[in-house]
A and B are shown apart, each in its own frame.
Chain A
Amino acid sequence: DSGVTQTPKHLITATGQRVTLRCSPRSGDLSVYWYQQSLDQGLQFLIQYYNGEERAKGNILERFSAQQFPDLHSELNLSSLELGDSALYFCASSVETWETQYFGPGTRLLVL
């Protein structure tokens, strides 16, 4: 158990819908990262927050957004969902940006 929690574990939804994925980092970790793992794209970095501020953006679609709240938990919002958004979404956290990232168990999203 890495100490990073993600909810829900599984999510099945329809095209065009909107979902919210939630992540609670390890106690004391200030930095949160979101990654997408799909068969065709592999593991891709989406976005990073540090102590509530956005620090870096990767290959994140405009239909996706995220935020980190004052209690340091983070949410990833996915809207206007398409079949291709089906993937495993990981949250990771670290104490500082150069420290090792520890991953949550992931949320498996299936868009039908």
Chain B
Amino acid sequence: AQTVTQSQPEMSVQEAETVTLSCTYDTSESNYYLFWYKQPPSRQMILVIRQEAYKQQNATENRFSVNFQKAAKSFSLKISDSQLGDTAMYFCAFMKHDGGSQGNLIFGKGTKLSVKP
């Protein structure tokens, strides 16, 4: 069974600074996807970024980038130029690719990020 671990329950960062959220996972699968979702106080789940395990290049989306270390089973999220609107719960998630029959996400317990003015 796959597990996802987020070891930082809470973090804070000053506006305009950079912060990195950690995520490790355990799997015996070779083909899978990793995601970061954001849950602001509205409780809506919003996709931040997606990484395919077969891609060596780290995914980036504007101020958000990941450091994907497949051998170490590590998938950290870096937020640059933090903004007040980045304040949210961040969830790391794993999805195995089994040929397309199933696609359920396995989530970590989340990291609560507070951006301070």
Footprint of B on A, CB under 8 Å? 2, 31, 33, 35, 42-45, 48, 55-56, 58, 88, 90, 92, 94, 96-103, 105-106, 108
Complex interface: chain B residues within 8 A of A45 (CB) = 104-106
Neighbouring B residues of A33 by C-beta, 8 Å: 103-105
Whether B100 lies near A98 (C-beta < 8 A) is yes
Q: Does residue B50 face the partner (Cβ distance < 8 Å to A)?
A: yes
- Dominant secondary structure at the A interface: strand
Number of A-B contacts (CB under 8 A): 64
Residue A55 contacts which of B33, B91, B102, B106 (CB distance < 8 angstroms)?
A: B102
B44 lies within 8 A of chain A by Cβ? yes
Cα A106 to Cα B42 in complex, Å, equals: 10
- Extra contacts, 10 of them, besides A97-B100, A98-B95 (Cβ < 8 A), are A31-B103, A35-B105, A42-B107, A55-B102, A55-B103, A56-B101, A97-B102, A100-B50, A103-B44, A105-B43
Does B103 lie within 8 Å of A101, measured CB to CB? yes
State whether A97 touches B101 (Cβ < 8 A): yes
Rounded to whole Å, the gap between the CB of B23 and the closest CB of chain A is 14
Can you list the 8 inter-chain pairs with the closest CB atoms, starting with the nearest? Answer: A97-B103, A103-B45, A43-B107, A56-B102, A45-B104, A97-B100, A42-B109, A56-B104
